[in-house]
Amino acid sequence: MSQQHSAAPAPTSAVSAVEGRPDWWRDAVIYQVYPRSFADGNGDGMGDLEGVRTRLPYLRDLGVDAVWLSPFYASPQADAGYDVADYRAVDPMFGTLLDADALIRDAHALGLRIIVDLVPNHSSDQYEWFKRALAEGPGSPSRDRYHFRPGKGKNGELPPNDWESIFGGPAWTRVTEPDGTPGEWYLHLFAPEQPDFNWEHPAVGDEFRSILRFWLDMGVDGFRIDVAHGMVKAEGLPDLGDHEQLTLLGNDVMPFFDQDGVHDIYREWRLVLDEYSGDRIFVAEAWTPTVERTANYVRPDELHQAFNFQYLATHWDAAELRTVINRTLDAMRPVGAPATWVLSNHDVTRHATRFANPAGLGTQIRLAGDREVGLRRARAATLLMLALPGSAYVYQGEELGLPDVVDLPDDVRQDPAYFRGAGQDGFRDGCRVPIPWTRTGPSYGFGDGGSWLPQPADWGGLSVEAQTGEPGSTLELYRAALAVRRERADLGAGDAVEWLRAPEGVLAFRRGEFVCVANTTGESVPMPAYGRVLLASGEITEAAGEAKVPADTAVWWSAS
């Protein structure tokens, strides 16, 4: 069965126009755009592709290599676009396929690569296949493309197993059959509006290989794979029993996550990608129990990168950071994949706010904490991240030092996890507030028509305009760090980190001519001056070959 789609524009950008090293992605800095909240081109209060296109020069000047866009496909927006109703169409709220085409071309002309989000674990309940499965009833072949099951209990009134949705509540919803009777249940690891595909059905794989080709023909440079660890479920959908189900980074492999069968899918996808020129990539959003399990996703015939969520979840603590850095590099070395580093994204509390709070509160925090300390640590954490070998991800607005918005009124909140009760990630709206571009104006330059989530009153002072050219601003720190990374190929290259002696609470490492020191303590520490200071996240004072590195500060030195 095929769907009706809007015709794609002639794929004139099918071959990526970006010149560059074939292994560009091994040390790339990739900027995440959350299209709803980046820039609003048509003044309806919601970000869109035209808004992104007009801001591409800002991203080029920031110095990133690629842009990953969260989903902009046709969607009822039950989970901000991660519920896709047509994988080959742009939602009118974000624009048209022609806008996507223009965005890809303009990005390429500026030397930026474009990575789009692919959502293969589930569709929207408005996807043609699911609507048909509901309409055709139990036993119909269309139900086999999802996980439909009869319920347990005398009248099938209990869910088929004990799995819980990541957003809270049961992972199953009972349907009303075409004849009006209560009937089968279907599986949804996320919201009820996001039914899970049955990847055992060959039509699902066929459809997704075709979707890959559609976007590759449009000229995209890669895909971020949503819930890359979830598509294959354990045989028989076994109960979990007494298990902490909501811990994504738990120690056990769940029957619905990180099943070995997912790797067969990626081997097939890799063959498709490799038919295309231009060094295009896959990056996995795979929450696995360990970095070693994450490494399985980036074996040479599978995906290129996987997000390092163990790193994202690490506290601002030198010993913990050193452990996760070593472990990551050790895990990636045997498979030959680059390590990746990430501090923030659209699903977690921004790191400026995480680090403003005491350690141990997790990645979903609704407390402002000490903003000054949080920002100081966030800036230092960024310099540390950008000094590590491999590829780094930057989430829109972190270059402005934005905090999470922790006091959004309940009546504006949209995260489905919030409405489904005590899900472990019910607070994601706070990192999704539209970013400020200008000091003043109704939505600080986000657009002419306000902003779909209210921005805090002090955000004009954090805007791109306010920080541009301002010595010491967070934006200028990012620009300078990315410029150094571009000038010095050695910064992200390879996989070696040589640890140097340092006082407790301080990380110091050498990479060739380059030395990075990060002081995670609340006190200033004396360190040897390792050469010429390239960049620092705070004020460094040097005298007689010794440098004072203030509390929560990182510094880059060059021996040459």
CA distances for 218 relative to 208, 269, 468, 517, angstroms: 15, 17, 34, 43
- Give, to the nearest 10 degrees, the angle between helix 474-487 and helix 371-386: 10
Question: Which chain residues interact with ligand NOJ by CB under 6 A?
Answer: 79, 82, 119, 190, 226-227, 285, 346-347
Q: Which of 484, 492, 503 is nearest to 556 (CA)?
A: 484
Q: Which of 406, 411, 393, 410 is nearest to 433 (CA)?
A: 406
If the CB atoms of residues 125 and 226 are measured against ligand NOJ, the closer one turns out to be 226
If the CB atoms of residues 279 and 415 are measured against ligand NOJ, the closer one turns out to be 415
Q: Which of 280, 21, 264, 232 is nearest to 120 (CA)?
A: 232
Helix (H) or strand (E) holding 37: none
Give the shortest CB-449-to-ligand NOJ separation in angstroms.
25
Instruction: Count CB neighbours of 12 within 10 A.
Output: 12
C-alpha–C-alpha distance, residues 505 and 325, integer Å = 15
Helix (H) or strand (E) holding 38: none
If the CB atoms of residues 415 and 552 are measured against ligand NOJ, the closer one turns out to be 415
C-alpha–C-alpha distance, residues 168 and 560, integer Å = 54
Instruction: Report helix, strand or coil for 284.
Output: strand
Point out which residues pair with 29 in neighbouring strands.
Answer: 392
C-alpha–C-alpha distance, residues 557 and 531, integer Å = 6
Give the shortest CB-488-to-ligand NOJ separation in angstroms.
32
Catalytic residue chosen out of the listed positions 19, 179, 242, 275: 275
- Strands 66-69 and 29-33: what pairing? parallel
Nearest residue to ligand NOJ, scored by beta-carbon proximity: 82
Give the shortest CB-170-to-ligand NOJ separation in angstroms.
17
Torsional class of 385: left (φ above 0), alpha (ψ -120 to 50), beta (otherwise): alpha
If the CB atoms of residues 229 and 376 are measured against ligand NOJ, the closer one turns out to be 229
Give the shortest CB-394-to-ligand NOJ separation in angstroms.
16
CA distances for 259 relative to 252, 265, 369, angstroms: 11, 11, 38
Q: Which of 416, 414, 415, 402 is nearest to 350 (CA)?
A: 402
- Note if 226 is an active site residue: yes
Within 8 A by CB and 6+ apart from 215, the residues are: 116, 118, 223
If the CB atoms of residues 118 and 515 are measured against ligand NOJ, the closer one turns out to be 118
Give the shortest CB-71-to-ligand NOJ separation in angstroms.
9
If the CB atoms of residues 82 and 427 are measured against ligand NOJ, the closer one turns out to be 82
If the CB atoms of residues 48 and 79 are measured against ligand NOJ, the closer one turns out to be 79
C-alpha–C-alpha distance, residues 324 and 23, integer Å = 25
Q: Which residue has the tokens 């709206």?
A: 429
If the CB atoms of residues 174 and 428 are measured against ligand NOJ, the closer one turns out to be 428
Q: Are 511 and 491 in contact (CB under 8 A)?
A: yes
Give the shortest CB-158-to-ligand NOJ separation in angstroms.
25
Give the shortest CB-121-to-ligand NOJ separation in angstroms.
7
CA dihedral 467, 470, 472, 476 (to 10 degrees): 60
Q: Which of 388, 275, 400, 290 is nearest to 339 (CA)?
A: 388
Give the shortest CB-14-to-ligand NOJ separation in angstroms.
28
If the CB atoms of residues 129 and 514 are measured against ligand NOJ, the closer one turns out to be 129
C-alpha–C-alpha distance, residues 394 and 349, integer Å = 14
* First-last CA distance in the chain: 63
Catalytic residue chosen out of the listed positions 40, 86, 91, 226: 226
Q: Which of 20, 17, 50, 19 is nearest to 35 (CA)?
A: 50
Give the shortest CB-54-to-ligand NOJ separation in angstroms.
25
C-alpha–C-alpha distance, residues 463 and 480, integer Å = 18
Instruction: Report helix, strand or coil for 380.
Output: helix
Give the shortest CB-70-to-ligand NOJ separation in angstroms.
7
Residues forming the active site = 226, 275
